[in-house]
Amino acid sequence: MLLTDRLMLRPFWDDDFARFAAINADPEVMEFFPKPLTRDESDAFIARIMVHFAREGFGFWAVEAPGGVCPLVGMVGVQRVPADLPCAPAVELSWRLGRAWWGRGYATEAARAAIADAASRCGLRDFVAFTAASNARSRAVMERLGMTRDPAEDFDHPRVPEGHGLRRHVLYRLRVPGAG
């Protein structure tokens, strides 16, 4: 478990499945993905998160705003990039928050905690983040985190169909000081 000034990053609990499914079903939250997730797809996503965490020792955290604010704001963390993506092998920093929690700095705050944990506890130093080129909100979070973009590394996401408006992705990188 990780604590920030306003948030708790923790493993997913059974109570989170329905809440996370509601986040993943929101068309506005999923605007920069090919489609919202069904309940089964969302549950399978959490299952993959749990397996990754158990196997790697790091992964995506459930994000809670404690003190009765919200039991599940969304998820933030790091995971190994799937081998079929052009930036692999790499460790991806990612976030997904419920729409009610946008614009409060939660994604940036939680991402900083996840980066610090992955660096200190797991020795990870190099991170990537990517999103559809049109996703200005996520790109702004990447820039607030100090991530940088080289347009030569942008790519067409292989899991997004040819001709789809979200196929083109931008790639940002962050190197945490202390690497050998």
Q: Rounded to 5 degrees, what are φ and ψ at 112?
A: -60, -40
129-176 pLDDT per residue, tens: 999 999 999 999 999 999 999 999 999 999 999 999 999 999 999 999
Q: What is the pLDDT of residue 70?
A: 81
- Helix H segments across 57-124? 106-122
pLDDT band at 177, cuts 50/70/90?
A: confident
Any idea where the domains of the chain sit in the sequence?
Answer: 2-175
Are the CB atoms for 54 and 47 separated by under 8 Å? no
* CA 17 remoteness from chain centre: 17
Homologous superfamily, domain 2-175: Gcn5-related N-acetyltransferase (GNAT) (3.40.630.30)
Q: What is the pLDDT of residue 69?
A: 76
pLDDT band at 178, cuts 50/70/90?
A: confident
Q: What is the pLDDT of residue 129?
A: 98
Counting residues of the chain whose pLDDT is more than 70, the rounded percentage is 99
Mean pLDDT of 89-93: 96
Encoded tokens for 137:
């909100």
What pTM did the predictor assign? Answer: 0.93
pLDDT band at 95, cuts 50/70/90?
A: very high
14-72 pLDDT per residue, tens: 999 999 999 999 999 999 998 999 999 999 999 999 999 999 999 999 999 988 778 99
Euclidean distance between CA atoms 100 and 98, whole angstroms: 6
pLDDT > 70? residue 90: yes
